A and B are shown apart, each in its own frame.
Chain A
Amino acid sequence: MLLTLIRRYSKPYLPQILAVIIFQLASTIATLYLPSLNAKIIDQGVSKGDTDYIWQTGALMLAVAFGQVITAVAGVYYGSRVAMSMGRDLRRDVFRKVSSFSAKDVNTFGAPTLITRGTNDVQQVQMLMLMGLNFMVSTPIMCVGGIIMALQEDLSLSWLVWVSVPVLVAVVGYLVVRLMPLFRSMQKKIDAINGVLREQIIGIRVVRAFVREPYEVKRFGAANRDLTDVSVKIGNLFVLMFPAIGMILHLSTAAVLWFGGERVDSGDMEVGALTAFLQYLLQILIAVMMGTFMAMMIPRASVCADRIGEVLDVEPSIHNPDAPVTPAEKKGRVEFRDVTFKYPGAEEPVLSNISFSAEPGQTLAIIGSTGSGKTTLVSLLPRLYDVAAGEVLLDGVPVTELDRDEITSRVATVPQKPYLFSGTIEHNLRFGKTEATEDELWDALETAQAKDFVQEKSSGLNRRIAQGGTNVSGGQRQRLCIARALVTQPKVYLFDDSFSALDVATDARLRRALKEKTRDATVIIVAQRVSTIADADQILVLDNGRIVDRGTHEELLETSPTYQEIVESQLSAEEVA
């Protein structure tokens, strides 16, 4: 996958990549040329006492060095440019792809992993591209070039290259292979110890209430010891790396001098060639070592690339219709016809044979215990999911044939989990209708019983909201979400258990105010509590994904055993105390 990604995303930048290669090549050749010039100074200049030659060659060296820096900088310029462009493109594609996902697609992955894939994984791949362009291109050039140059200086010493390079790769490789799992294990231990601390801080009241400090200290101590043990183990191996590499380099140096000395003595080699050979060998070894370290990045980046590939390969399960139908009316009539829904991979349908209709001006309530399929039911209307069988109609047209805009302009949802975006209150309220006037915002806030706490702070509508809305209380968040839906003035309201975090008095006031505002709209309320829905025009009692009973509160009290059971459970829950 990594290769596929790199191939696909490097295509637009092939000329620049070529430039990187050319510049790196030039810069490497310049780097390699310097020792050979130095050798010439010794052989032609120093040995013969030719100072003019020394000066001339010195000037040439300077020019070569200058050329080296220029080409290197140019290489870095194109390298970082290409790598960052590719990262940008990749990130954009992941974002676009996920944006085109349906709720089902998002849920198959889960939002957190999608976030990691879109941020961290892309960064990993981008980093690899950068390193690759800046270093991995030059490493093989340096190796090959170094070997060629070294062989040019003296062929018969070449066996030193064949011996020292594999030894270096073996030693570094061995240590890296041994270290990698230890690093992973250290990361786990660090996570473990941080996990213990996190639990202690979050659960500090419980820890203190149960006087479990000593127990926690013991637990922490064990985790700490674990971590220390692994760290020491890593350290023990790691401190070997540095001297071992040093030793290999020094042994190679000594070997070159020793065996080279013999060849010089027999007149087969010049002294300058000897020093050049020495420098080439060191350059090769360093390049090999760099390459080995760089290669360490590959496994990790390829895991990331696989994860990104998984996202990019998904075909979104819900599309906008090719030939959307525009409904004749915009009233907000909702009808479910024999709807069945199944989550992917699930054996049992979540919803079976659901049929009902809700008219403008009416309130339809859905009640049932956890897992009865209420939330799923309401997410079918805005097409977060598509039905497995049957039809969901909005103003007489199946939602699958409607343009997304037609749906969103009619339906406003207040989700079960109140989620706010970072920004200001105003920014959040305008989320569904950017052009709303300030009066409209205040009006919505008033209906949602949120006006008081927004006004309370001097910042008012400009008050900052943290991501997710974590800096306001649960009840406030819920009310802001209700206000956000109200601002759009839709034809259909979907309240998915949206009053749960409100205290009872506020709940009652809010529902009274809502009734005014939603007079002409279709209101669909999902609720746990009977009190919330007692005055609905129609109540659907859901059990195991089926509508077991329907009717008004009074009718159901008479006829529906399931409804009675729910009513009784709430009643007795209160009575028990």
Chain B
Amino acid sequence: MSGQNQQKRGWAAKAEAAKAARAAAAADETAVAAVADDDFEEEEYTPGEADGGMFGNLPAKKAKAFGPSAKRLMGLLKPESAGVFFVIGLVVVSVVLNVIAPKVLGSAMDVIFGGVIGKQLPPGVSQAAFAEGLRQAGQNNFADMVSKMELTNGINFSKLTFLISIVLLMYFVANIFLWAQGFVLNRIVMKVINRLRNDVQAKLNRLPLNYFDTRQRGDILSRVTNDVDNVQQGLQQAFAQLVSSVLTVFGIVVMMFIVSWELALIALIALPLSGIVAGVIGSRSQKLFAAQWKNTGALNGQIEESFSGHELVKVFGRDADMLERFDERNEALYKASFGAQFVSGIIFPAMNFISYLAYVGIAVVGGLRVASGSMSLGDATAFIQYSREFTQPLGQIAGMANMLQSGVASAERVFEFLDADEQVPEDAAKHLPARTDGHVEFENVSFSYVADKPLIEDLSFSAEPGHTVAIVGPTGAGKTTLVNLVMRFYELNSGRITLDGVDIKELGRSELRSKVGMVLQDAWLFGGTIYDNIKYGKLDATEEQIMEAAKATYVDRFVRALPDGYQTIIDEEGTNVSAGEKQLITIARAFVSDPSLLILDEATSSVDTRTELLLQKAMAALRTDRTSFVIAHRLSTIRDADTILVMENGSIVEQGRHSELLSMQGAYYRLYMSQFAGEDAEETPVDDTTAVHS
């Protein structure tokens, strides 16, 4: 009954809150997400919490193609179709019982009423005679009623007991079925969502890297997290309730017509009326809510910004300005949210009013009809109950439609993710020799991220086993791209790269990558202990191997100083471990994986000088006896590289050893001079021995 609906609303409110909380988490993500593209599109701020809670849903995103997406969403349930039909069966039974019960309850009422009127019969006078007597006394209506009634002398308690038992039994069965369908449906939905999540995870591993490069991280994250959650909610709530609400409305209408078609017509007038009210107020409040979200976003954005940039506001003395702007926005938010809350708050009383209208109509017309004997009192009370139960599922259908819409929109975004082009399937036709020595050969390699913007063109060179190849050049010259190609993170446009004579395209990606160790500029570690982070390089590494790696890469020294040692948890803030130390851990991680080919990207960010020294030493330790590609930012670190590749605009303009390149007085020489001209180019000529260069 109506309690159930309140109940559901409570659940929906909770779910809303949880959803909004997650949306907030995603908003943080969006904020930190590095923007791959230079051109910046301003992102909509996702508000923090369940501001609308009860009635103010998150603005429903619209699906681009509702039909196909909804169909595909339903398709997810297909493997569980037996269960789904079972659930629908249960719902049907419980709805039917729920809908019939008031009618039986009405009969119980008739028994009581009949008993009461029957008592008024003078002893020995028959029902017909009593009615006749009434008619003669001028009480025609009452007489009609009495003549139609089933009068008993006093309430027929055995019949009353019987009817009440029947009703209780019906409700009991209905509720058991209701519980059973919820139980089964919950399992089905969770199974489906579990599978969807696993699909998303699997897809993540099959997407090419440029998928991640060309999209905002926040967007991908919100697809795989919030949107999946949203689909779950859509399925869990909207699906089940929609079925039962629609069935209930249908059932009630049928019952109403069975009981009294005249009264049914009155009740049905309420239907379009509440539809109009819900539609008009609803769409207004949707707009107002959108405005409220927008203002919330703007204000929260400002709060976030003012608090994060608190010191700047102070040092530039902008407090007053900030306050002024805040007050303006705060006032705007107040106006918007007041409007939204008020208008949405009207819906409830307005719908209520309409249901009262129907209620009054039924009470009056029903009363008249009962009095005239053309309807029993029980039927009238049953009808009142029907009419009250009628508007609630209607309201629910409207609410669910909203939720379903948002669920389908989310599903669509998840499907888009699942449908994204995958990386070129693996060939894995060939294998590397058991013992690779890390001979890498680029043969006429061309590559571009975007079709019409060639980046690397016709590049050829070779890295001999055990050699160190340094790659230098200005930012954007394609240094990182070059090593990414070795890892086969991207597919070549033309040419080929071979490792120990085998085209890497013919190798399985995992086979290739397992031979390569990589230390990247942004020291990415996952949330876990230092020990586990090192172990990530080789999952079956023994403790000795990990300790050995830690010692060789100078991790051991600082870890011992930490209170929790190797069990120190690295968290996202990473407050306990400095940037340089994190970098050392990534080197240890590469060390433990014992690759035959190494790719090192030197950090440019300033780490403190002692850590810097350790980093250099650690990288040197790692490079021993391995073919290494080093992306160097400071030329001084690569003087003794076996080969230096000087890149400019995607091609190698010079190639050779340090001394050779210097004597050529070309690009490398210029680069070198510009770096060492650092502090005082005018006065002092470059002198290697005074080197306090950076």
Mark the stretch among B178-186, B401-409, B431-439, B452-460 that contacts chain A: B178-186
Q: Is the CB of B108 within 8 A of A45?
A: no
Central interface residue in B172, B309, B350, B475, by most chain A CB within 10 Å: B309
B357 (CB) vs chain A CBs: closest residue:
A65
Contact A531 B678 (CB under 8 A): yes
Tell me the residues in window 345-380 of chain A with beta carbons closer than 8 Å to chain B beta carbons: 369-370, 379
Q: Are B186 and A508 in contact (CB under 8 A)?
A: no
Contact with A along B627-661 (1 / 0, CB 8 A): 00000011011111000000000000000000000
Say whether A264 contacts B31, CB under 8 Å: no
Tell me the nearest residue of chain B to A499, going by C-beta: B606
* B663 at the A interface (CB under 8 A): no
A98 to B305, CA, bound (A): 12
Task: Give bound CA distance, A47 to B371, whole Å.
Answer: 7
Chain B residue nearest to A55 in the complex (CB): B364
Name the B residues within 8 Å of A83 (CB-CB). 341
Indicate whether B514 reaches chain A with its CB closer than 8 angstroms. Answer: yes
Chain B interface helix/strand/loop/mixed: helix
Q: Are A534 and B187 in contact (CB under 8 A)?
A: no
Q: Which of B6, B341, B350 has the most CB of A within 10 A?
A: B341
A79: interface (CB < 8 Å): yes
Q: Which residues of B contact A118 (CB under 8 A)?
A: 303, 307
Write out the residue numbers on chain A whose beta carbons fall within 8 Å of the beta carbon of B323: 95-96, 99
- B628 CB to closest chain A CB (Å) equals 11
A73:B346 contact, CB within 8 angstroms: yes
Q: Is the CB of A211 within 8 A of B513?
A: yes
Which of B220, B312, B384 lies in contact with A431, CB distance below 8 A?
B312
A251 at the binding interface (Cβ < 8 Å):
yes
Residues on B with beta carbons closer than 8 Å to the beta carbon of A386: none
A72 to B326 Cα, complex, angstroms: 33
Q: With contacts A235-B182, A384-B314 known, is A120 near B24, CB below 8 A? A: yes
A50-B371, A264-B112, A501-B605 as given contacts; A79 in contact with B18, CB under 8 Å: no
Please give, as numbers and ranges, the residues of chain A lying within 8 Å of B474 by CB-CB distance. Answer: 503
Count CB-based A-B contacts (< 8 Å).
Answer: 555
Distance, CA A72 to CA B537, complexed state (A): 66
Contact flags A247-258 to B (C-beta < 8 A → 1, else 0): 101110110011
Q: Which of A127-160 contact B (CB under 8 A)?
A: 127, 130-131, 134
Of the stretches A2-10, A191-199, A441-449, A544-552, the one at the interface is A191-199
B209:A205 contact, CB within 8 angstroms: yes
Residues in A neighbouring B29, C-beta threshold 8 A: 198
- Kindly state whether residue A216 has any CB partner on chain B within 8 Å: yes
A91-B330, A119-B300, A261-B157 are contacts. A534–B679 as well, Cβ < 8 Å?
A: yes
- Encode contact with B along A90-119: 1 for CB under 8 Å, 0 otherwise: 011001101111110010000100111011
Smallest CB-CB separation from B676: which chain A residue? Answer: A504
With A120-B24, A120-B48, A501-B604 given, is the CB distance from A68 to B337 under 8 Å?
no
Q: Is the CB of B187 within 8 A of A286?
A: no
B residues near A225, Cβ cutoff 8 Å: 194
Q: In the assembled complex, which residues on chain A have CB atoms less than 8 Å from the CB atom of B35? A: 466, 470-471
**A289 contacts the other chain (Cβ, under 8 Å)?**
yes
Please pick, from A98, A250, A570, the residue contacting B307 in the complex, using a CB distance under 8 A.
A98
Chain B residues, CB < 8 A from A389: none
Q: Are B364 and A54 in contact (CB under 8 A)?
A: yes
Query: Given the interface contacts A419-B309, A535-B679, does A467 sit within 8 Å of B31 by beta carbon?
Result: yes
Task: Please give, as numbers and ranges, the residues of chain B lying within 8 Å of A302 by CB-CB distance.
Answer: none
Assembly CA distance A382 to B310 (angstroms): 13
Flag if A577 contacts B619 (CB, 8 Å): yes
Q: Contact check, B475 vs A51: say whether CB atoms are below 8 A apart.
A: no
The answer to whether residues A569 and B680 also contact, given A65-B356, A210-B537 and a CB cut-off of 8 A, is no
Q: Are B212 and A201 in contact (CB under 8 A)?
A: yes
Query: Does A80 count as interface, using CB distance less than 8 angstroms?
Result: yes
Check if A314 is an interface residue, CB within 8 A of chain B.
Answer: no
How many angstroms from the CA of A120 to the CA of B308 in the assembled complex? Answer: 16
Q: Which residues of chain A are within 8 angstroms of B116 by Cβ–Cβ distance?
A: 47, 264-265, 271
A46 with B303, Cβ < 8 A, contacts A58-B360, A264-B115, A466-B35 known:
no
Interface residue ranges of A59-89 to B (CB < 8 Å) = 61-62, 65-66, 68-69, 72-73, 76-77, 79-81, 83-85, 87-88
The answer, yes or no, to whether A190 is at the interface (CB within 8 Å) is: yes
Q: For A79, A244, A474, A530, which residue has the most chain B Cβ atoms within 10 angstroms?
A: A530
A48 at the interface (CB under 8 A from B): yes
When C-beta atoms are compared, the residue in chain B nearest to A65 turns out to be: B356
Do residues B619 and A119 form an inter-chain contact, with CB atoms below 8 A? no
Question: Complex Cα distance A267/B117, Å?
Answer: 11
CB of A181 within 8 Å of the partner chain: no
Q: Is B221 a contact of A201 with CB atoms below 8 Å?
A: yes
Name the distance in Å between B192's Cβ and chain A's nearest Cβ: 10
Asked if A576 meets B616 with Cβ closer than 8 Å, knowing A65-B353, A211-B513, A247-B175, the reply is yes
| Bound CA span A415–B309, Å | 10
Which residues from chain B contact A538 at a C-beta distance below 8 Å? none
Do A80 and B341 touch across chains, with their CB atoms under 8 A apart? yes
Q: Which of A214-246 contact B (CB under 8 A)?
A: 215-217, 220-221, 224-225, 227-228, 231-232, 235-236, 238-246
Identity of the chain B residue whose Cβ is nearest the Cβ of A54 in the assembled complex = B367
Q: Does A34 contact B (CB under 8 A)?
A: yes
* Option from B105, B183, B371 in Cβ contact (under 8 Å) with A257: B105
Instruction: Closest A residue to B117 by CB, please name it.
Output: A47
Q: Which residues of B contact A310 (CB under 8 A)?
A: none
Q: Is the CB of B609 within 8 A of A570?
A: yes
Chain B residues, CB < 8 A from A202: 217, 524
Q: Which residue of A lies closest to B181 (CB)?
A: A239
B529 an interface residue at 8 Å Cβ cutoff? no
Which of A96, A127, A251 meets B50, CB within 8 Å?
A127
Contact flag A76-B371 (CB < 8 Å), given A34-B359, A236-B183, A570-B694: no
Contact A187 B21 (CB under 8 A): yes
Name the A residues within 8 Å of B201 (CB-CB). 197, 200, 216-217, 220-221, 224
A85 to B: closest C-beta gap in Å: 7
Candidates A68, A285, A415, A504; contact of B634 at CB < 8 Å: A504
Complex: A149 Cα to B634 Cα, angstroms: 87
Q: Which of B70-78, B138-146, B443-451, B560-568 lies on the face that meets chain A?
A: B138-146
In the assembled complex, B686 has its CB within 8 A of some CB on chain A: no
A232–B186 CA distance with the chains assembled, in angstroms: 7
Would A257 and B345 be within 8 Å (CB), given that A47-B117, A120-B48, A242-B8 are in contact? no
A118 to B609, CA, bound (A): 39
Q: Are B307 and A42 in contact, with the CB atoms below 8 A? A: no
Contact check, A235 vs B310: say whether CB atoms are below 8 A apart: no
Q: Give the segment of B122-130, B160-168, B253-261, B543-551 that binds chain A.
A: B160-168
Taking CB atoms, residues of chain B closer than 8 Å to A384 are 311, 314-315
Whether B693 sits at the interface, judged by CB under 8 Å, is: yes
Q: Which residues of A contact B187 (CB under 8 A)?
A: 232, 235
B112 touches A271 (CB 8 A): yes
User: A342 in the interface, Cβ–Cβ < 8 Å?
Assistant: no
B82 interface contact, C-beta 8 A: no
Other than A50-B371, A231-B232, A528-B606, give 19 A-B pairs with Cβ distance below 8 A. A76-B349, A84-B341, A85-B338, A87-B337, A88-B334, A92-B326, A183-B18, A197-B204, A211-B514, A257-B164, A261-B111, A261-B115, A286-B2, A369-B610, A412-B316, A415-B311, A421-B305, A467-B305, A574-B616
Interface CB pairs A-B, < 8 A, 10: A51-B372, A200-B204, A206-B520, A209-B520, A217-B205, A228-B194, A379-B311, A471-B38, A497-B606, A574-B693
Which 10 pairs of residues, A with B, have the shortest CB-CB distance? Answer: A239-B182, A49-B142, A235-B186, A408-B317, A58-B364, A574-B636, A243-B175, A76-B345, A500-B606, A577-B637
